[in-house]
């Protein structure tokens, strides 16, 4: 990886757990671990709760137009999730045990963190 590439700001020496694969840790990769700054990323993040308590077992899926799958993360212990999306309109779908599910539209913008709170 060239030092001239902005992506080189993400190096193993800067990160405790550098995200180098395609899989995501529960809750999604943290913004600070990703870039150190938000920069031009379009972040969609939030939490899933049921009757006020975090839902820690379940999945958040980001879908494009026509239900096209884009990405998925397992929920974190606090019910959290995070996506680094392209700017645009997306559908967020949450799946949890016992057939619980929820869906809502989200808008992601460059340099913005879009917060989404989901109640099952």
Partner 1 sequence: MSRSDVLVDADWAEARIGDPGVVIVEVDEDTSAYDKGHIPSAIKIDWKKDLQDPVRRDFVDKTGFENLLSERGISNDDTVLLYGGNNNWFAAYAYWYFRLYGHDKVLLLDGGRKKWELDSRELTPDVPERPRTSYTAREQDASLRALRDEVIAAIGKRNLVDVRSPDEFTGRLLAPAHLPQEQAQRAGHIPTARNVPWSKAANEDGTFRSDDELRSLYAGEAGLDFGRDTIAYCRIGERSAHTWFVLHELLGHPNVKNYDGSWTEYGSLVGVPIELGEAR
Under rule CB under 8 A, how many of the chain's residues touch partner 1?
41
Residues from 24 through 43 that contact partner 1 (CB under 8 A): 24-26, 28-29, 33-35, 41
Q: Considering only the stretches 46-54, 78-86, 109-117, report the one whose residues sit in contact with partner 1 under the rule CB under 8 A.
A: 78-86
Torsion of CA 51, 54, 57, 59, to 10 degrees: 90
Which is closer to partner 1, CB of 41 or CB of 79? 41
Q: What is the distance between the terminal CA atoms of the chain, rounded to a whole angstrom?
A: 43
Task: Point out which residues pair with 113 in neighbouring strands.
Answer: 43
On whether the CB atoms of residues 93 and 103 are closer than 8 A, the answer is yes
Residues from 93 through 112 that contact partner 1 (CB under 8 A): 95-98
- Residue choice 47, 80, 82, 106 for contact with partner 1 (CB under 8 A): 82
Least CB distance to partner 1 at residue 93 (A): 8
Residue 23 engages partner 1 in binding (rule: CB under 8 A)? yes
* Rounded-to-integer distance, Cα 8 and Cα 81, Å: 25
CB-based contacts of 34, cutoff 8 Å, min separation 6:
10, 19, 41, 84
Given the rule CB under 8 A, which residues bind partner 1?
Answer: 1-2, 5, 7, 10, 19-26, 28-29, 33-35, 41, 57-59, 61-62, 64, 68-74, 82-86, 95-98
């Amino acid at each position: 990886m060239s030092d001239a590439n902005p992506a080189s700001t993400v190096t193993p020496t800067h990160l405790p757990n550098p995200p180098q694969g395609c899989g995501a840790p529960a809750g999604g990769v943290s913004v600070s671990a990703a870039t150190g700054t938000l920069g031009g990323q379009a972040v969609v993040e939030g939490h899933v709760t049921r009757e006020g308590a975090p839902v820690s077992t379940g999945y958040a899926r980001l879908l494009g137009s026509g239900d096209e799958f884009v990405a998925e993360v397992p929920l974190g212990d606090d019910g959290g999730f995070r996506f680094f999306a392209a700017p645009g309109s997306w559908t967020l779908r949450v799946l949890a045990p016992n057939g619980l599910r929820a869906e809502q539209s989200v808008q992601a913008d460059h340099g913005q963190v879009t917060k989404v709170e989901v109640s099952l």
